[in-house]
Amino acid sequence: MGIRLLNILHAKNILRQSTSEFVDVPKGYLAVYVGEAQKKRFVVPVSYLNHPAFQDLLREAEEEFGFSHPMGGLTIPCREDTFINLTSRLNGL
């Protein structure tokens, strides 16, 4: 239980949810929009693109949106808590 909580806290620090659409994305990171009804913007390390679990999310996004993302950026159609859980596991690798 304690390890899972630490992983989630670490993930939240790395994800760095931004409050503005116009915030610059640092080198080595990419912005993604996550959520089902209301989308939230997260900035994640590009290293996540190498992980099979993250690639599965990208395939889902391609199936749902193709290459036309309604938010103007990469949109991932999953629940926010599911995304945070997945990325917290990627941080531990």
Q: What is the pLDDT of residues 22-51, one digit of tens each?
A: 567 889 998 888 888 888 989 999 999 999
What's the whole-model pTM score? 0.68
C-alpha 5/C-alpha 18 separation (Å) is 22
Q: What is the pLDDT of residue 71?
A: 65
Q: What is the pLDDT of residue 83?
A: 92
Helix axes 80-91, 52-65, angle to 10 degrees: 150
The ranges assigned to domains in the chain are: 2-91
Q: What is the pLDDT of residue 23?
A: 62
